[in-house]
Copies of this chain bind each other. A is one copy, B any other.
């Protein structure tokens, strides 16, 4: 399978990014390192919050989305990194045992003015749980190399 370059993305195109399951142990391990709020690390205390139980840190959900993005797209693409992300929204809680899947729709392609070998791709991603309910959305920015002229 040939590599995916900036040239290969089409505005309106949908990209399926696969799925992954998150365990209680992973939710707690991530949160103990990066986001030890009670509703992310302690089942008993979490049960008494507005969330009614343990939920994943939004940064954990974002990082799991990043892994789906890598496995489903970036690992096969001429990715040159990202300047950032817009409008990250944690729409519903992610709970232990949830299976997350993600999908992107290409919104915009902007060839670089200063660097003719690359361009910016703006994509709206959604992450869903096993019930098909949206748990996160984000507008991603990605820099991709253009196809080299000797690779046709």
Contact = CB atoms under 8 A, between A and B. Distances in A.
B37 A79 contact: yes
Contacts of A59: 59, 62-63, 66
Contacts of A74: 37
A58 interface: yes
A86 B84 contact: no
Interface string A24-54: 0000001001111101000000000111000
Q: How many copies does the complex hold?
A: 2
A93 to B, nearest CB: 9
Interface string A70-104: 10001100011111111111100000000000000
A67 interface: yes
Contacts of A57: 66
Contacts of A63: 30, 33-35, 59, 63
A64 interface: yes
A53 to B, nearest CB: 13
B84 A51 contact: no
B88 A85 contact: yes
Residue of A50, A57, A81, A87 ringed by the most chain B CB atoms within 10 A: A81
Contact of A88 (B34, B35, B36, B86): B86
Nearest to A84: B89
Nearest to A64: B34
Residue of A57, A63, A64 ringed by the most chain B CB atoms within 10 A: A63
23 contacts: A30-B63, A33-B63, A34-B63, A34-B64, A34-B67, A35-B63, A35-B66, A35-B70, A36-B70, A36-B75, A37-B74, A37-B81, A50-B80, A51-B81, A58-B82, A59-B59, A59-B62, A59-B66, A62-B62, A82-B90, A84-B89, A84-B90, A85-B88
